[in-house]
Structure 1
Amino acid sequence: MKKYLLFLLSLMTLVGSAQTVRKYSNEFLNIGVDAAALGMSNSVVSHTSDVNSGYWNPAGLLHLEDNQLSVMHSSYFANIANYNYIAFAKPIDDRSAIGVSLIRFGVDDILDTTQLIDDQGNVNYDRVSLFSTADYALTISYARNLPIPGLSYGVNAKVVRRIIGDFANSWGFGLDLGVQFESKNDWKFGIMARDITTTFNAWSFDDDKLKDIQDAIEGQNQTVPESTELTIPKLQIGMSKKYIFHYDYSLLASLDLNVRFEQNNDLISSSFASFNPALGFEFGYTDLVFLRAGVGNFQNELQLDNSESLTFQPSLGLGFKYNGIYVDYAFTDIGDQSVALYSNVFSVKIDFSIFR
């Protein structure tokens, strides 16, 4: 039943959209990767320094000392939707690095009941089939040092593929730009500008299949939506510092500010832009065991009595490191502390130095 409802929601989104260019798309790319980052509420843009930097801030790839591989799996909405990620990165020389990653976010085995009833009104369950709706993103990252000490930049080129069974599919392309700076007193700063070119998605539709949906909705003027989606740019600005206590203990504190150029329910919002902070901590012992916590996604939600209530998204995480193998876990969601179901996120990272 849950998958059937998601199926109807997907189709209604396609069929019921107005004849305008939609400015929201590719939201699956905002969920995040790497359980270590998710455990800190995604506040990692200033200090990310491994293979996962290709997603968070490609400038961080310059901190790689050897090739790295990362994989992640998580399930959302009571295991209905699956999010899978794999990435590989390697240093080119002492001044540049490159990486590539692939993300798939999808719901599989959805019942297609649009042909359940034939033209004579007969119900035939043999006409029911299964299909999947999936979003893919392939990202190629490049990072390089700048002549200024401690300053580096990185660029992402993204190809986005979105598929809703045989009903609709799209191709998209966009660019990201990231910058990192490390001061002499160990403070780290970062800026990640996503979709700086306003990522463009072009959709194509199966008119015959959509017509079956349109005819089933009586009394409404349903039309096929415009075939263009635009993803508006976003900024993530961060700062962090790592403290060492008695040689064996460490504390990493990080603060990020997420900026969207629109008015919404974020903590601070205006007609020009909205601002949403995220705070994360990582406590480490002998660089072997890590305990993480974070809070972010602050929203001013309107209640039924027209009052506003502030919601937020907490997260927890745990990590282990042995030689060049990293195993991380995060307990989080993609909503707030009271609505969405929490998910268990696992990721593994391998540094190829263990093979040398």
Structure 2
Amino acid sequence: MNRFTLSFFVLLMLLGSLSTMAQVATPKYSNEFLNIGVGARALGMGNVQAAIANDATAGYWNPAGLLSLRQKYNIALMHSELFAGIAKNDFGSFAMPLDTNSALAVSVIRLAVDDIADTRRLQNEYGYIQYDSIRFFSVADYAMLVSYARRSQLIEGLQLGASAKIIYRNVGEFANAYGFGVDAGAQLTRGSWQFGLMAKDVTTTFTAWTHNVEALEEAYQQTGNDLPESTAELTLPRLVFGVGKTFRFNDKLSAILATDLDFTFDGRRNVLLNSDVVSVDPHVGVELAYAKTVFVRGGLNNYQETQSFDGSTTKRMQPNFGVGFTTKGLNFDLAMSRVNDKESNAIAGSGTSSVIISFGYSFN
């Protein structure tokens, strides 16, 4: 246990140097589908979870939170539709404690746009339209996370965790990619205060792309573009620091107020605090609970500053809202947010509503 704790903190200390070395050859927004978020509780609170994640979704948000599971077996399922249902985001997880000081979880994520029409063969050699020649394909991103958490024997209230993730990305018959990375997290409880630290892609995540040149050759020649080549990309580390506080008003009514700060190192981003070296994206969320059965949630995240055609700028944040209900180990959560398609990392206030539905079940 001592060696595990020491290795964890050494890994976090090396994070800064790793991001500096990798900065030169890494694209911005690499594997960004892994930063959208999972679970209606979290998304209803503006993706604030680093310090307070305590269910089967913790394998994604902060694996250290797996030590707070209330039952022996825990299942979490989520379905959400983005951009008015064009994209589907699905998540499933199973988590369980191994003993009083450790826990394990396996999670799967799929983000996809399905039924895209391939019209390359729509017109035959005689110039006639053949609708039966249309084929359909999907653009899908997959990730599987295997998470492990262990309680520190050196510092009371400290929980540590790590997730190994395997990534598969597919663009029909045209291209696919495989990747591998590691996340690491920690949570610390002090009375009614909770602190969390999550280091995503702490070792940088390597993703290798392979293109089917034969399938693309004709279309690229007609448009005069160069054929794509097999490439590799690195996803730089991202640090998330979270703080939460629990308020108890009476025997039945309580609340959690929490905030997360996302630190990215892949160049200037359209966030509240940004520079060429590091960008900081704050978000805040609140959860009101009645008798630990009925929940009302809200959150703000994804600060954006956009410029209009007349040169004026507009500042906005994404509002989120959610409700939840829990009984006899079964929980149902619903969240709504709005999606903005102005920028690949933006989920902001002007766009179409997104609905997130989550189910969970825990039992002994």
Please, what TM-score do these two structures have when normalized by structure 2? Answer: 0.87
User: Counterparts of 2:279 and 2:165 in 1: how far apart (Å)?
Assistant: 25
Q: 1:99 aligns with which of 93, 105, 125?
A: 105
Cα distance, 1:121 vs structure 2: 4.1
Q: How does 1:217-256 map to 2 (within 5 A)?
A: 217-218=223-224, 221-256=225-260
User: Counterparts of 1:310 and 1:177 in 2: how far apart (Å)?
Assistant: 33
Cα distance, 1:339 vs structure 2: 2.6
1:252–1:282 CA contact under 8 A, matched in 2: yes
User: Counterparts of 1:197 and 1:122 in 2: how far apart (Å)?
Assistant: 54
Cα distance, 1:21 vs structure 2: 5.8
1:21–1:226 CA contact under 8 A, matched in 2: no
User: Counterparts of 1:22 and 1:119 in 2: how far apart (Å)?
Assistant: 41
Is 2:122 aligned against 1:116?
Answer: yes
How many residue pairs get matched? Answer: 331
User: Counterparts of 2:287 and 2:28 in 1: how far apart (Å)?
Assistant: 35
Secondary structure at 1:208's aligned position in 2? helix
User: Counterparts of 1:344 and 1:300 in 2: how far apart (Å)?
Assistant: 24
AA in 1 matched with 2:168: R
State the partner residue of 2:22.
none
Q: 2:213 aligns with which of 207, 217, 221?
A: 207
Q: Gaps spanning 5+ residues in structure 2: where?
A: 1-24, 341-346
1:24–1:230 CA contact under 8 A, matched in 2: no
Cα distance, 1:116 vs structure 2: 1.8
Q: 1:160 aligns with which of 167, 184, 201?
A: 167
Q: In angstroms, what is the RMSD of aligned CA positions?
A: 1.6
Cα distance, 1:72 vs structure 2: 0.6
State the partner residue of 1:16.
none
Cα distance, 1:105 vs structure 2: 0.9
State the partner residue of 2:284.
279
State the partner residue of 2:353.
342
State the partner residue of 1:33.
38
Cα distance, 1:275 vs structure 2: 0.7
Q: After alignment, is 317-326 or 109-118 more displaced?
A: 109-118
State the partner residue of 1:11.
none
Q: 1:351 aligns with which of 338, 342, 362?
A: 362
Cα distance, 1:187 vs structure 2: 0.7
Is 2:53 aligned against 1:48?
Answer: yes
User: Counterparts of 2:308 and 2:220 in 1: how far apart (Å)?
Assistant: 33
Distance 1:163 1:337, change over 3 A: closer
Q: CA-to-partner distance for each residue in 1:252-310, whole Å, 9 max, x for gaps?
A: 10011111112121111011111111110001111110000000100122222333321
Is 2:139 aligned against 1:133?
Answer: yes
Is 2:333 aligned against 1:333?
Answer: no
Q: 1:187 aligns with which of 178, 186, 193?
A: 193
AA in 2 matched with 1:75: E
Distance 1:245 1:338, change over 3 A: closer
Q: After alignment, is 240-249 or 295-304 more displaced?
A: 295-304
Cα distance, 1:179 vs structure 2: 0.7
Please, what TM-score do these two structures have when normalized by structure 1? Answer: 0.89
2:254–2:289 CA contact under 8 A, matched in 1: yes
Give % identity: 41
1:24–1:229 CA contact under 8 A, matched in 2: no
User: Counterparts of 2:226 and 2:83 in 1: how far apart (Å)?
Assistant: 28
1:31–1:334 CA contact under 8 A, matched in 2: no
User: Counterparts of 2:63 and 2:193 in 1: how far apart (Å)?
Assistant: 19
Cα distance, 1:215 vs structure 2: 1.9
Cα distance, 1:23 vs structure 2: 4.4
User: Counterparts of 1:157 and 1:299 in 2: how far apart (Å)?
Assistant: 31
State the partner residue of 1:175.
182
Secondary structure at 1:54's aligned position in 2? helix
1:278–1:297 CA contact under 8 A, matched in 2: yes
Distance 1:22 1:211, change over 3 A: farther
